[in-house]
Amino acid sequence: MSRLLRGVYIVWIVLRYGLDELVLASFQKPWLHWIARVVSVGRRDAPRGQRLREALERLGPIFVKFGQVMSTRRDLMPVDIADELARLQDRVPPFPAVQAVAIIERALRKPLAEIFVSFEQVPEASASIAQVHFAVIKDRSGRTRDVAVKVLRPNMLSAIDSDLGLMRMMAGWVESLSGDGKRLKPREVVAEFDKYLHDELDLIREASSAAQLRRNMEGLNLVLIPEMLWDFCTTEVLVMERMVGVPISQVERLRAAGVDIPKLARDGVTLFFTQVFRDGFFHADMHPGNIQVSLAPATFGRYISLDFGIVGTLTEVDKEYLAQNFAAFFRRDYKRVAELHIESGWVPRSTRVDELEAAVRSVCEPYFDRPLKEISLGLLLMRLFQMSRRFHVEIQPQLVLLQKTLLNIEGLGRDLDPDLDLWATAKPFLEKWMLSQVGPQKFIEQLKAQAPHYAKLLPELPMLVHSYLKRGNETSGSDRLVAELLLEQKRTNRMLQWLIGLGIGFAIGVGLMLAMTGLRQYY
One-letter amino acid at 511 equals G
Catalytic annotation, pick one of 90, 267, 285, 307: 285
First CA to last CA across the chain, in angstroms? 93
Nearest 10 degrees: CA dihedral of 135, 136, 137, 143?
160
Residue 96: how many other CB atoms lie within 10 Å: 10
Distance of alpha carbon 392 from alpha carbon 352, whole angstroms: 12
Which stretches of 60-178 are DSSP H helices? 61-71, 79-85, 97-108, 112-115, 156-177
How far from the centroid of its chain's Cα atoms is residue 185's Cα? 20
- 282: which strand partners? 312
Distance of alpha carbon 242 from alpha carbon 228, whole angstroms: 10
CB 308 within 8 A of CB 290: no
Check residue 283 and report its DSSP letter. Answer: E
- 116: which strand partners? 137
| E strand intervals along 165-262 | 223-224, 237-241, 246-247
Helix and strand totals (H; E) in the chain:
23, 11
- 11: which strand partners? none
Name the region of 45 (left: φ>0; alpha: ψ -120 to 50; beta: rest).
beta
- 281: which strand partners? 313
Distance of alpha carbon 363 from alpha carbon 360, whole angstroms: 5
Q: What is the DSSP string of 287-344?
A: -GGGEEE--SGGGTT-EEE---S-EEE--HHHHHHHHHHHHHHHTT-HHHHHHHHHHH
Distance of alpha carbon 150 from alpha carbon 522, whole angstroms: 63
Active-site residue, 180 included = no
Catalytic residue ranges = 285
